[in-house]
Amino acid sequence: MNNIKRIAVFTSGGDAPGMNAAVRAVVRTAIYHDLHVYGIIGGYDGMIKGNIKRLEIGDVANIIQRGGTMLKTARSSEFMTIEGRKQAYENLVANDIDACVAIGGNGTYKGADVFGKEFDFPMVGIPGTIDNDIYGTDYTIGFDTAINTAIEAVDKIRDTADSHNRLFFVEVMGRHSGFIALHTGIGSGAGGIFIPEVNNSIEDLIHDLRKASRRQKLFNLIIVAEGNQNGDATTIAQRVKESNPEYDVRVTIIGHLQRGGSPTAMDRVLASRMGHSAVLTVLRGDGGVALGVINDKIIVTPFEDAVNKTKHLNKELLKMAEVLAM
């Protein structure tokens, strides 16, 4: 590992605000340490197709404030095959690349873990996903921006909900995890939160809404993670409306707005720290690991743990959300 001279960086899976800041940090830290650094365009698909180019300091200028990813991203079914991974490895070897920094979520980590083991190739992961569902880190790159975007949208919805005495169901991203919904719900003062990890009762929600109505609380906001166990926001809203036809019910789906936009200061700093640390991790001779931040300290976790272990929601936050939703 002391002979490492060339590294590559790529982004994979869903884009997340702050990915560009991480790429910038990788490139500039690598060059500072006299390494040649390459960008793989289009994630694992680009690795298979050989879309690899040399990056210099100027290539990552003026990108720290941009959302999305300058290296583009894609999901690759071909990389799931041994033939595809073999072609990807041959392209890395052809470019004399000694190690890779992979920026992405759970699927990216799974690919990096398998690839690194198959070809004894050093892979280091950076958690870039708005879902914040990666084991081994308190926060993932993009999460803070996503919840700020969601809360800003909900604040605007609150204005019209109040004006018309309406009940709004607001759907946020989260097919398998409720981190975005939970933090958005708390931050926006929502009257209820539906997340995949908890089997909320719609009947309990209706009961709470009726209690609120008796207190002359004439409008409310309910945050729904798209993957919760009771169905999407539209389904839940319909069930509530059927039981309470007097409610003026509306549904808003924030959707991909949460993925875009300029990253917050927190995401820019987090991404910069992780990109910088990823290069140092490679230079130390570590491979097959993912970076994370725990209690504001950068740590490493084996890919196997990051992929197979579950990151749980903070139970204290769950209980607090119930209390504050009264």
Q: Which residues are catalytic?
A: 131
Tell which residue, 269, 257, 298, has the closest CA to residue 281.
Answer: 298
d(CA 95, CA 91): 6
Dihedral of the alpha carbons of 255, 256, 258, 261, in degrees to the nearest 10: -150
Residue 141 bridge partners (DSSP): 128
CB-based contact 17:259 (threshold 8 Å): yes
Dihedral of the alpha carbons of 117, 118, 119, 125, in degrees to the nearest 10: -40
Tokens 């490139």 correspond to 27
C-alpha triplet 74, 275, 132: angle, nearest 5°: 60
Question: Which residues, in sequence order, are CB contacts of 125 under 8 Å at separation 6+?
Answer: 101, 102, 103, 104, 108, 109, 112, 289, 290, 291, 303, 306
Tokens 């365009």 correspond to 41
Tell me the chain's radius of gyration from C-alpha atoms: 22
Q: Tell me, what DSSP letter sits at residue 196? A: T
Tell which residue, 312, 278, 317, has the closest CA to residue 101.
Answer: 278
Alpha helices in the chain (DSSP H): 19-32, 43-49, 82-94, 106-119, 143-164, 179-188, 202-214, 233-243, 265-283, 303-308, 315-324
CB-based contact 240:202 (threshold 8 Å): yes
SS3 of residue 48 by DSSP: helix
